Amino acid sequence: MNAEANIATRLRSLSIDRDVPPPRGTLPIRRFRMLGMTVVGIALALAAAAYVRPPSTDALWRAFVTGTIAEPAKEADSSSQSKALAIQEQSTKPLPQAVIGSGYVVAARMITLRPEIGGRVVDLPLDVGDHFVAGQVVARLDTATDEIELRITKSQAVAAAAAARRVEVSLEQARKTLERTKLLVERGAAATSSLDADSLAAVQLTSDLDVARQTAETARLQVEKQERTLSLHQIVAPFDGVIVARLVSLGDMVASGTDGGGPRDGIAILLDPDSLTIDVDIAQSNAARIQPDQTALAILDAFPDRQFKMRVRTIVPAASLQKGTVTARLEFLTPPSRALPNMAAKVTLDAPDLQADMDGRGF
């Protein structure tokens, strides 16, 4: 009991006695302050929770509280997301397919040199692989007979000119005689019939002079014709090129090119190496995927380790009914060294979408 009494005594000593009770109006005010502090604390707690929540939870919470859509992401996040979506679309988009075709090398300028007249080859300064410039003599034919013909026509031209000159002199004399006869008739010293005869003679000589001059002009033209015929005995290169085949030998007789003949009837075959192209056959199902100026790569069967850059020059405006293909003519963008006509080639044309992308990047 003593212990319990001691504890009670000590507790009473620690208590504070109030002489005056608190006013009656202060109790509701204290309760209101405590309630306000509680509400403020709850609001701060909710704000802190919203700040630390993930974006998806925060968006759901804001949509639930305010009824609006979640705020947009930051500018950096949106740009990164757009880049990621673009990369994903490019990865899922199918790659454009190239167009593959086969064809042959052709020469836009390759001709068989044929003379316009026949004759015997007396000079042949050429061989396979020789280069010639435009106007250079490739071969000569025998000109002995034509030189004689030229001398004959020149002689005839000289004779015709002399005959015309004689008629001119006779006409001048007849005109002078006519003038004297007119004076004599006026004086009564000559008969009128003499005047008529002299007038007729002058008219006839005038006509003879016209014929003589026409004859002289014809002879002159014959000389020009024979000179041109003589010049045709020289076969010259019509353009710069290289000899790819020699068709005759020295002393052979060749026929006139105007008489026809086969593709190898002539002097030689001249090729312009800068005019080489490739004619490619493309399946009709891929006709819509080829267009002029489209780039391509070509590989010749003769040079499988080399690639030639090409470009579509033109598309033949007609399809092949037998092969079911469309032909495109491609020009070389790289020098076609050692490429020859009729060589087989395989060509890969860049897809238009892929080419546009390469052009945009400067390739």
Q: Mean pLDDT, to the nearest integer, of 131-158? A: 93
Q: Is residue 151 pLDDT above 90, yes or no?
A: yes
CA distance 295 to 350: 6
pLDDT above 90 coverage of the chain, percent? 39
Do 77 and 42 lie in one domain? The reply is yes
Q: Is the pLDDT of residue 262 over 70?
A: no
pLDDT value of residue 361: 46
The answer on 281 and 210 residing in a single domain is no
Rounded Cα distance, 286 and 98, in Å: 10
Same domain for 161 and 54: no
Q: 3 in a domain, yes or no? A: no
CATH of the domain at 303: 2.40.30.170
* pLDDT category of residue 339 using cuts at 50, 70 and 90: confident
**Helix/strand/coil for 355:** helix
336 shares a domain with 221: no
Are 309 and 192 members of one domain? no
Q: Is residue 27 part of a domain?
A: no
116 with 256, same domain? Answer: yes
Cβ atoms 281, 315 nearer than 8 A: no
Residue that is written with structure tokens 């909710």 in the block: 46
In angstroms, the CA 257 to CA 112 distance is 10
User: Quick check: helix, strand or coil at residue 100?
Assistant: strand
Query: Per the confidence metrics, is the pTM higher than 0.85?
Result: no
Burial label for 177, CB within 10 Å (0-12, 13-18, 19+), is middle
User: How high is the pLDDT of residue 7?
Assistant: 64
The better pLDDT of the pair 258, 344 is held by 344
> Are both 174 and 188 inside the same structural domain?
yes
Give the range among 19-33, 214-228, 237-251, 305-319 with minimum mean pLDDT.
19-33
240 and 135 fall within a common domain? yes
- pLDDT of the residue at 326: 92
Name, in order, each residue with C-beta under 8 angstroms of 192's C-beta and a sequence gap of 6 or more.
Answer: 185
Give domain status of residue 336, yes or no: yes
Strands 99-107 and 344-349: antiparallel
Number of domains in the chain: 4
Helix axis angle for 144-187 and 192-231, nearest 10°, is: 160
The H helix count followed by the E strand count for the chain is 7, 14
> How confident is the model over 112-123, as pLDDT tens digits?
998 888 889 999
32 located within any domain: no
Shared domain check, 348 and 279: yes
Residue 356 domain-assigned (yes or no): yes
The answer to the question of residue 163 being in a domain is yes
Give 218-255 pLDDT, tens digit per residue: 999 999 999 999 999 999 999 999 999 899 999 998 88
Residue at 18 is within a domain: no
Angle at 135 between CA 145 and CA 250, to 5 degrees: 50
Whether pLDDT at 181 is above 90: no
Higher pLDDT, 346 or 27: 346
The H-or-E segment that residue 358 falls in is helix 352-360
Q: Within a domain: residue 30?
A: no
Task: For residue range 190-210, list pLDDT tens digits in order.
Answer: 788 888 888 888 889 899 999
Q: Which domain holds residue 266?
A: 110-142+234-271
User: In the block, which residue shows the tokens 């250079």?
Assistant: 136
